[in-house]
Amino acid sequence: MADIEKAKAAFNRFDADGDGQVTAEEFKHAMAEMGDPYVTGPVAEAVIKAKDTDHDGKMSFDEFWQALQA
């Protein structure tokens, strides 16, 4: 099981505007800042879609946390 405080810190690195949701664009930007410039728009969209259980086009912390538990 993942540590929820570490998970919150990691999620916050992706949630650039602090609205509690990570968009594909925020994901792509955060990955580039962490040294992975190869995450393209379509890749970021696929990652978010895979974790987006409520199908709103964004990843919430709860969805992020659930993905860590799998």
User: Residue 70 — pLDDT band, cuts 50, 70, 90?
Assistant: confident
What residues make up the domain containing 23?
Answer: 4-69
The number of folded domains in the chain is: 1
Token match 């993905």: residue?
A: 67
Tell whether the model's pLDDT for residue 1 goes beyond 50: no
What pLDDT does residue 2 have?
A: 62
11 close to 61: Cβ distance less than 8 angstroms: yes
CATH number of domain containing 42: 1.10.238.10
> Over the stretch 19-67, which tens digit does the pLDDT of each residue have?
999 999 999 999 999 999 999 999 999 999 999 999 999 999 999 999 9
Other CB atoms within 10 Å distance of the CB of residue 46: 13
